[in-house]
Amino acid sequence: MSEKRLDIQGLRGWAIVLVLLFHFFPDYFPNGYIGVDMFFVISGFLIAMILRRSDNLDMEVFRSFYYRRIKRILPLYYLAIACILIALFLLLPSSYRSMNIDSSRRAIILISNIRKVDVDANYQKMLVNAEDLFTHTWSLCVEMQWYLLVPLIFVVQRFMTAWEKTFFTGVAISSIAFYLLVDDMSSFYCVFARIWQFCCGVLALLMQNEVRTYFLQEPEKDLPQHEKIALLNSETCEDEPLSLGLISSILLAVAAYHLFEKYYLTWPPQGVLSMLTVLAAICAILALQPHSIEEQMFGEGPVNYSAINPNDAAWNMTLMRYLNFKENNLRGNLEVPGCAYSARFLDEYAKPVGFCTMKNGNGNNNFLVVGNSFACNQAGLIYSAFKQHIKQFNVFCYFGCEVMTWTPKTKCWRRVNYTAMVRELKPDVVFVMSRWVSRNL
């Protein structure tokens, strides 16, 4: 667009402010996340404005559309990923590498929002833990996937009907239905569950002339009134505001624009694409680094223990480090093999934690294993050891939650009534298994 709409720029500014306040002062601005929803609506409005300018949506229009989106977004995006990875290797402990390298690989190919149903992938929990440096890339991945889909949606609309508002209302309703039917994880991250928000922007563009006519015909009418949105939390916050982080983020954004973005936006397509290729290659090289010393020495496959010389002190020390690494990698070994997971007692599907049932045996006793992540680790071993005595075998485990003692909410995210569970299942044998909960579990 040659002329920027000042009202849209203002909405963008407010959306940025809300998102920053939410991330830096979440106790004061717990609802600031609506800034992301504002971005989605604005994106729908602007993209509809761009695509409706063309009478024919041919390959030339598609090529121009995709190039402009790539030019505007991806260079800064890959520059940010490269800087984050460099900081990861230079400044952060090695324990952060495994999670963040995996996340960076998804971010590079723009699928950060495609996640398995995992209690640990809950966005609010990831924000609190602040271990995954690429948590926030999900929203930009949703945007890029929308950009990929929207020209095709407009082509379908032009082939099917001239009633634009009816068509996009139908698309929005379908997206809302998808949002309501899928699990919580998909409804939050999946682009198809977010399309209704983009369609709200499209419909706003299609209806703007009608709205303008309505207010011009009846100028005495004020804008619609509504209750104030509660962006502020009345509770006091004991944590000191992260003013330094907020100021640093603003300064980095200003520097990135004046030292980088302002210049490359004037480059010809060949220069932009060459620079983008270099940045993407740097990100890929950094993201393909080994997760840890153990992976660097052993690789990703299983270790051939038969080749180890027990009299070799160096091998023994290396094996000890490797076994210690695997023993403490709890989250990688939580799923109970052969166990059928369900949402029972949690009201949500939380595999590899939560409730699951093993195949019934020929024994006479009902078994129940409960505990924190340690119970997840050991349930399969118990099942194998007592298989001949088992009639029914159930497991319930959850991160950081003790069974016999109270656990702070900062460690145990869900409260479970274990007494009610035992009364309902009526097990003959109960294994209560837990391990000491460290701060980072």
d(CA 98, CA 28): 32
- The runs of H, that is alpha helices, within 161-292 are 164-181, 184-189, 195-217, 243-256, 262-264, 269-287
Q: CB of 202 within 8 A of CB of 45?
A: yes
Average pLDDT over residues 299-322: 56
- pLDDT score of 226 more than 90: no
Angle at 85 between CA 81 and CA 89, to 5 degrees: 170
Banded model confidence at residue 276, pLDDT cuts 50, 70, 90 = very high
The string of pLDDT tens digits covering residues 194-210 is 999 999 999 999 988 66
d(CA 105, CA 135): 12
The string of pLDDT tens digits covering residues 393-428 is 999 988 777 777 666 655 566 777 888 889 999 999
Average of per-residue pLDDT values in the chain: 79
- pLDDT score of 237 more than 50: no
Query: In the beta sheet, which residues pair with residue 393?
Result: 367
d(CA 346, CA 344): 5
Banded model confidence at residue 240, pLDDT cuts 50, 70, 90 = very low
The string of pLDDT tens digits covering residues 19-66 is 888 887 777 888 888 989 999 999 999 999 999 888 888 889 999 999
The string of pLDDT tens digits covering residues 5-18 is 788 888 888 998 88
Delimit the domains of the chain by residue range.
Answer: 6-222+240-287, 332-433
Average pLDDT over residues 178-199: 91
- pLDDT score of 283 more than 90: yes
Please, what is the angle between helix 34-51 and helix 195-217, to 10°? 70
Residues 6+ apart with CB under 8 A from 401: 371, 372, 407, 411, 412, 414, 416
Average pLDDT over residues 368-376: 85
